Amino acid sequence: MNTAILCIPADDEGNKLFIKDLREDNKKLFVKYKSTFNDIPFSETELFHVDDNYVITGSDGTVLWRFSKEWLEKLI
């Protein structure tokens, strides 16, 4: 397992999205993520591939985070 943690800029005000522990299970991708918008610990979620990007969605399907696949390649 790769121990790298990605730090992706989330906005123009200095907030960040942190991603770690990329894993594949039954052809689905999962990561653990957290952000500087709140004080919630790393949570595991499924990644979805959309328009040559990856997205993290909320429980209702709302896109919470969208980032380029190039970011994710750094965890491989």
Query: Taking 80 as the threshold, does the pLDDT of residue 2 lie above it?
Result: no
C-alpha of 3 from chain center: 15
**Domain extents in the chain:** 5-73
H/E element holding 73?
helix 69-73
Taking alpha carbons only, the member of 40, 36, 45 closest to residue 18 is 36
pLDDT in tens, 27-54: 999 999 999 999 899 999 999 999 989 9
Q: Which has more pLDDT, 45 or 4?
A: 45
Whole-angstrom distance, CA of residue 31 vs CA of residue 33: 6
Contact of 17 with 72, CB cutoff 8 Å: no
Cα of 64 vs its chain's centroid, Å: 10
Contact by Cβ (8 Å): 6, 16 = no
